[in-house]
Structures are given as structure tokens and as C-alpha cells.
């Protein structure tokens, strides 16, 4: 009886088939490194990955570096625009040399448009912890001398926020 082959060989072959297809699909969009697409969150960080996606890498006629096109929603475009140089540096670190010389920002609606559809998850803001009774008392004491009710409430809220942050 012939020795039995380990079952992992079949999985290795399937993996190599998928790797070739991913490489072919990414190269059709100009991505020489498919890692830029598959590991976008690791490359640019969670904060940028939640609001932007890489779309295309195009090479100019002069050959002086490529342009990376990033898709984002209109409301997030100014934030991504301010971080273009950091994104370019992180992407070039993946390539290992200065492959990307320009980063272009493309805006789209969050839903709709067949090809330009972008689904971006909202960043979940953690709920604020309820201030302890000691913090509430200290905040009330600090704003106690104010006669205007609206101003006193606003100052108490500010004091609670400051005291809660300094406690953490």
C-alpha cells in the first residue's frame, strides 16, 4: 500500500490558485504589489482605512513614479487630503522604494454609483463613562459661585469632563 499524502497538499494548491488570481486582478488595476490591496489597513492604519480605499495605480509617460488614486467620500476627502504625504510614505515602504510619487483623492457618494460604490464603516465612538459622585461633587463645588444657571451647568459639565479625563 502506498503511503498516504498529507491532506494539506490540496490546500496549498488551492492557495496558489487564489494567489495567481489575486495577483492578476490587482495587476490589471496597476498594483504591482497585491499586498497594498489585501493589507490596506496594515499599510495605512485603521483610521485611514475606515474612510479610504486604494483604487488604481497609474504610471506616467515620463516614468518618474506612479500615481496612487484613493477613493473616499466627499466629507472625508479633506482629512485624507491632509494625510497624503504620510500615505505616500507608508505605501512606498510596502514597495521598498519610491514607487508612488503622487496621491490623488477621488470622491464619491457613500452609496450608489455602480463602479464607484464605496462602503465605509463609521468609526464607533466609545461611550463616555458616567462621572463618579466625587467628580460630580467637585465639579458642582468649582462652579458653585456662578449665578447664571446655564453658565453654571456648562461649567459643571466642563469640570466633569476635565476631572474624568485626568482620572484616566
| Predicted confidence (pLDDT) at residue 36 exceeds the cutoff of 60 | yes
- Could you tell me the pLDDT band of residue 81, with boundaries at 50, 70 and 90? very high
Q: Where is pLDDT greater, at 71 or 129? A: 71
Residues 129-168: tens digit of each pLDDT: 788 889 889 988 988 888 888 888 888 888 888 888 777 6
Average pLDDT over residues 41-61: 84
Determine phi and psi for 36, rounding to 5 degrees: -60, -35
Closest to 90 in 3D by CA, of 123, 61, 64, 68: 68
Distance, CA of 79 to CA of 123 (rounded, Å): 14
- Contact (Cβ atoms closer than 8 angstroms) between residue 40 and residue 49: yes
In this structure, are residues 57 and 68 in contact, taking their beta carbons and an 8 Å threshold? yes
Mean of the pLDDT values across residues 72-84? 90
Q: How far apart are CA 68 and CA 59, in angstroms?
A: 9
Q: To the nearest 10°, report the CA torsion of 142, 143, 145, 150.
A: 180
Give the distance from CA 1 to its chain's centroid: 55
Task: Give the Cα separation of 168 and 95 in Å (integer).
Answer: 40
pLDDT of 2-28, one tens digit each?
A: 666 655 555 555 656 655 665 555 455
- The C-alpha cell that represents 51 in the structure block: 474612510
Q: How confident is the model at residue 30 (pLDDT cuts 50, 70, 90)?
A: very low
Distance CA 100, CA 91 (A): 7
Architecture of domain 22-108: 2-Layer Sandwich (3.30)
Q: Which H or E element spans position 25?
A: helix 8-28
pLDDT in tens, 86-137: 999 988 888 777 888 889 998 876 555 455 555 555 555 566 678 888 988 9
E-strand spans in 4-113? 52-59, 66-73, 100-108
What residues does each domain of the chain span? 22-108, 133-167
For the segment 69-82, the average pLDDT, to the nearest whole number, is: 89
Amino acid at each position: 500500500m502506498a503511503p498516504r499524502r498529507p491532506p494539506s497538499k490540496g490546500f496549498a494548491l488551492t492557495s496558489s490558485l487564489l494567489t495567481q488570481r489575486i495577483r492578476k486582478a490587482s495587476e490589471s488595476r496597476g498594483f504591482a504589489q497585491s499586498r497594498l490591496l489585501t493589507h490596506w489597513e496594515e499599510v495605512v492604519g485603521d483610521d485611514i482605512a475606515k474612510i479610504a480605499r486604494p483604487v488604481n495605480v497609474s504610471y506616467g509617460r515620463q516614468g518618474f513614479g506612479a500615481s496612487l488614486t484613493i477613493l473616499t467620500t466627499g466629507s472625508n476627502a479633506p482629512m485624507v487630503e491632509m494625510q497624503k504625504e504620510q500615505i505616500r510614505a507608508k505605501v512606498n515602504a510596502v514597495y521598498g522604494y519610491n514607487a508612488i510619487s503622487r496621491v490623488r483623492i477621488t470622491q464619491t457618494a457613500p452609496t450608489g454609483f455602480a463602479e464607484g460604490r464605496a462602503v465605509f464603516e463609521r468609526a464607533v465612538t466609545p461611550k463616555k463613562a458616567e462621572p463618579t459622585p466625587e467628580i460630580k461633587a467637585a465639579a458642582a463645588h468649582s462652579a458653585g459661585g456662578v449665578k447664571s444657571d446655564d453658565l453654571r451647568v456648562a461649567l459643571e459639565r466642563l469640570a466633569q469632563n476635565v476631572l474624568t479625563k485626568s482620572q484616566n
